[in-house]
Amino acid sequence: MLGEFEYLVLSSAARLGKDAYGAAMRQDIETVTGRSCSIGALYTTLDRLEQKGFLTTSIGQPSAERGGRAKRMVKITPEGIRAARSFYRAVVKISVGAVWAPGGADA
């Protein structure tokens, strides 16, 4: 099973599609969650998810706006999609009846 941050990284890669790369994913995760995302944690997680076969990375073309540096582009794999779906379904199922879930029990 995925960890929470792994799920966020996969979800960001899926949301950004062909525009998924480290800095854009970091901004996406911070904007959506309202939580800080260190670039080190992001790249460590990208490496781990790539080792698991849940995503692939490739080096894009250098760009002038990045001072001639290339982007590390990210693409989610079918295995990554399956893992993210499984995590999502587990969270939804375990949340049924919780006070924070729609229709949940009162605390």
Please report whether residue 51 resides in a domain: yes
* pLDDT over 60 at 3, yes or no: yes
How far apart CA 15 and CA 7 sit, in angstroms, is 12
More confident residue, 102 or 73: 73
Element (H, E) at 74: strand 70-76
Question: What digits encode the pLDDT tens for the residues 40-96?
Answer: 999 999 999 999 999 999 998 877 776 778 899 999 999 999 999 999 999 999 999
Count of beta carbons in the 10 Å neighbourhood of residue 63 = 11
Please report whether residue 76 resides in a domain: yes
Please report whether residue 44 resides in a domain: yes
Please report whether residue 36 resides in a domain: yes
Domain count, the chain: 1
Please report whether residue 103 resides in a domain: no
User: Which of these, 9, 12, 90, 11, lies nearest to 44 by C-alpha position?
Assistant: 9
Confidence at residue 75, expressed as pLDDT on a 0 to 100 scale: 97
Note the helical H segments in the chain: 4-16, 22-33, 39-51, 78-95
Instruction: Report the CATH number at residue 53.
Output: 1.10.10.10
Please report whether residue 74 resides in a domain: yes
